Structure 1
Amino acid sequence: MSFSDFITIVGVIVTVISMAISIRQARSAFKSSQDAKNAMAAVQLAAVAERLKSAQEHIRDVAPDRFSQRGVKFADRLALIRREFDIALSALPKTGGGSDARMQLTDAQSELNIYQKSLPLMADAIAWQKLQVLVQDAISDLTSATSKVGEPK
């Protein structure tokens, strides 16, 4: 074995070791990137859940038993609920984590429309109750999805 062969073998060994280290670092970087994406998704889902808790307060403000109270401006409160729903829906994906909550919110929007149409005559207590339940279910789904985001698959 000549000196030239020895240098070539050492060079190949160093190259293979460098390649193994590079692959390991690339995997580590990819995992960190995925962890960061999952953390961002969890924060976004949690923020939507908090926004829906605010919507819940507005929904309670437009309860059927308050319909007959003087000075209560239902139109303003309903507009606030719609705005909360719009913002939440724009932040939720159609598939993946949070998609179930998105479907429930679209159903909640329908119930809100039914409830609003009933207001000139007599508040529809059933539509209001369904609206509350759908929003609560969406919050529960988002809370569950938030905790599942970081779990290994």
Structure 2
Amino acid sequence: MTTRLSLFNSPLLLGFDQFERTLDRIAKNSAEGYPPYNIEQIGEDGLRITLAVAGFTSEDLSVQTEDNQLVIRGRQTDDRSRVYLHRGIAARQFQRSFVLAEGIEVIGASLDNGLLNVDLRRPMPEPKVRTIKIEQTRTDQGAAKGPQTIDVAPDRSEA
């Protein structure tokens, strides 16, 4: 039996199971090499993913969001009317997935000179601070549970 060491098994990291599954999925997808892509920062809250998809038309491509993933698929079909003396550019299909952080929106996609650009918007998070009220509870026999006030008598032993 093989035991896998988890990055998120610390008792200080609560509720990060989803992140671990996401990292596993990213590791599987990172082995894919086709098509090559760039990710660039566009403005303060914008991102652009550019994939090199030479030979694909917009009808050959699909861009979808599935849960928290951006999935880009390409499917070319062979043109049976062509007779090739040498075929170095094969009609192929691909699927490239990108895991999106919570709140990232896909703004649009465009195809220009063999490059598929997918624009994303990453909203800037607002800092959230919340104070939690601490209530005093008493659990003695016969005592009612709930908020209680504790009176402390002054220490008179030093007089």
Q: So what's the TM-score if we normalise by structure 2?
A: 0.26
**Which has more strand, going by share of residues?**
2
**Which has more helix, going by share of residues?**
1
Task: Choose 1 or 2 for highest CA Rg.
Answer: 2
Q: So what's the TM-score if we normalise by structure 1?
A: 0.27
With CA pairs under 8 Å and 6+ residues apart, which has the higher RCO, 1 or 2?
A: 1
